[in-house]
């Protein structure tokens, strides 16, 4: 690789994700003829809250963490979006993720707007007690803008059902009674929903199934590579293997493993649980994260973090379908290259919308105090996701654009319509 290409690749990796999200909106605004006023309104978040989070650590020291909660748009209903604990959290990242949540909720046609939260921390270096203190204090600081009628957080990167339980308990203690509907992704014992743990992966499976059908490809034996073997990636591997797909490569932050004959997914999941990584699994050959993206496969599932598919590697991706189980894994320049090469990119606002859809089901069940069976939840999810795929695909064909632009055309139009109908107050 030349020095120039290394410099360009590094520049892309540092690209501002908020500007990237705004650029995606700008492109769709032109396509659907969005009015200037509505376009400008949707380009900025409705509310940004930055808080200091003091935490007494196990050694008695006080550390101050910085946290954010961003509400992008609430024209279609209360804000919805996860909270991530990660050392690389930035305000611009949270703003971008909140905007993407607005489009995601609109695309699957659930009555939520978009929000996102984050705390700059390294949860892997914190004890359970320190994490609880951090979570409870952060919840207390953002409690002025969250609630089942206002803004409903959920799990995201390095946050768990246990962390959601602490959020729910802290908020409830402040109000004086239990309010399970303040968060989703909770444990079942305190108002969580069946099917929520696998919802993102199951939604991704449903979308890939529809894409395979549309492209007239055979599911049985189709080769799948998964970059990122956390909650979404691990469950996607399991569900897709059960469906008949062949998982040929998988990786996490430490590295990857590959076997063109197919990995033993159950064994890989067990190895990950025992060792904390897929690295060292005996059922395949070692492979880097980079090589997993570029390996010979039919379906590529980026299920890690943002900006992994760039102008540099887009031409090397050999998959026919890219299903974005992660948020924002593909840069706009890479999108254009993949579209020109005939690769169908199933955008994040569609491919990973299973999580927020079942979160909506959980919120509804909490408010009604009436809980559904898992089969019913999965069937409702399938109807929502497959309808969203069809609507996005129809718009993509109508305008002669890629699937991301087609999905955005559906979503932005719905949010714009709600915004126009509600008008400006006062």
Active site residues: 116
Question: Considering just the CA atoms, what is the radius of gyration of the chain in Å?
Answer: 21
Q: What is the DSSP letter of 53?
A: E
> What torsion do the CA atoms of 98, 104, 107, 109 make, to the nearest 10 degrees?
-90
Between CA 397 and CA 186 the distance in angstroms is 39
Sign of the four-CA dihedral 18, 21, 26, 29: negative
Q: What is the DSSP letter of 398?
A: H
Sign of the four-CA dihedral 14, 307, 160, 78: positive
**113: number of Cβ within 10 Å:** 24
Beta partners for residue 62, in sequence order: 56
Helix residue ranges, H only, 311-373: 332-340, 348-351, 354-368
Q: What one-character-per-residue DSSP string does 136-197 give? A: HHHHHHHTTT-BTTTEEEEE-TT--HHHHHHHHHHHHHHHTS--GGG-SS--GGGT--TT-T
The gap between the terminal CA atoms of the chain, to the nearest Å, is 57
Collapsed DSSP state (helix, strand, coil) of residue 83: strand
Between CA 278 and CA 215 the distance in angstroms is 31
Residue given tokens 């020109």 in the structure block: 340
89 HSE (CA, 13 A, CB side): 27
Beta partners for residue 53, in sequence order: 65
Helices 354-368 and 199-214, axial angle in degrees (round to 10):
130
Omega before residue 426 within 30° of 0, cis: yes
**Count of residues in the chain:** 426
Closest alpha carbon to 230 in 288, 168, 161, 305: 305
Nearby residues of 416 by Cβ (< 8 Å), 6 or more positions away: 34, 35, 38, 42
């Amino acid at each position: 690789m030349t020095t120039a290409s290394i410099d360009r690749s590094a520049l892309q990796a540092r690209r501002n994700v908020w500007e990237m999200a705004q650029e995606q909106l700008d492109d769709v605004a032109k396509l659907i003829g969005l009015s200037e006023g509505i376009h400008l309104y949707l380009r900025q978040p409705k509310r940004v809250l930055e808080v200091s989070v003091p935490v007494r650590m196990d050694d008695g020291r006080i550390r101050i963490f910085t946290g954010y909660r961003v509400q992008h748009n609430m024209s279609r209903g209360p804000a919805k979006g996860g909270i991530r604990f990660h050392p690389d959290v930035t305000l611009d990242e949270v703003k971008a993720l909140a905007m993407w949540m607005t489009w995601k909720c609109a695309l699957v046609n659930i009555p939520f707007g978009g929000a996102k939260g984050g705390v700059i921390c390294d949860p892997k270096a914190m004890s359970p007690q320190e994490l609880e203190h951090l979570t409870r204090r952060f919840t207390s600081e953002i409690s002025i803008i969250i609630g089942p009628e206002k803004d409903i957080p959920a799990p995201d990167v390095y946050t768990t059902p246990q962390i959601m339980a602490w959020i729910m308990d802290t908020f409830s203690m402040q109000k004086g009674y239990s309010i399970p509907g303040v968060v989703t992704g909770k444990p079942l014992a305190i108002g969580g929903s069946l099917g929520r743990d696998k919802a993102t992966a199951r939604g991704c499976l449903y979308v890939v199934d529809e894409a395979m059908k549309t492209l007239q490809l055979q599911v049985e034996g189709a080769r799948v590579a998964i970059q990122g073997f956390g909650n979404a990636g691990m469950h996607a591997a399991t569900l897709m293997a059960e469906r008949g797909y062949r998982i040929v490569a998988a990786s996490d932050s430490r590295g990857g493993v590959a076997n063109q004959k197919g990995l033993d997914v159950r064994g890989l999941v067990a190895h990950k649980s025992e060792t904390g990584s897929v690295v060292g699994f005996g059922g395949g050959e070692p492979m880097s994260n980079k090589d997993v993206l570029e390996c010979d496969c039919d379906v590529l599932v980026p299920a890690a973090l943002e900006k992994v598919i760039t102008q540099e590697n887009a031409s090397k991706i050999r998959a026919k379908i890219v299903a974005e189980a992660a948020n924002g894994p593909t840069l706009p320049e890479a999108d254009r290259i993949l579209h020109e090469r005939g690769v169908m990119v199933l955008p994040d606002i569609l491919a990973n919308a299973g999580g927020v859809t079942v979160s909506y089901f959980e919120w509804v069940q909490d408010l009604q105090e009436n809980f559904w069976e898992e089969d019913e939840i999965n069937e409702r999810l399938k109807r929502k996701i497959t309808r969203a795929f069809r609507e996005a695909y129809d718009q993509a064909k109508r305008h002669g654009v890629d699937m991301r632009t087609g999905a955005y055309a559906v979503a932005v139009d719905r949010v714009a319509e709600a915004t126009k109908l509600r008008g400006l107050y006062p």
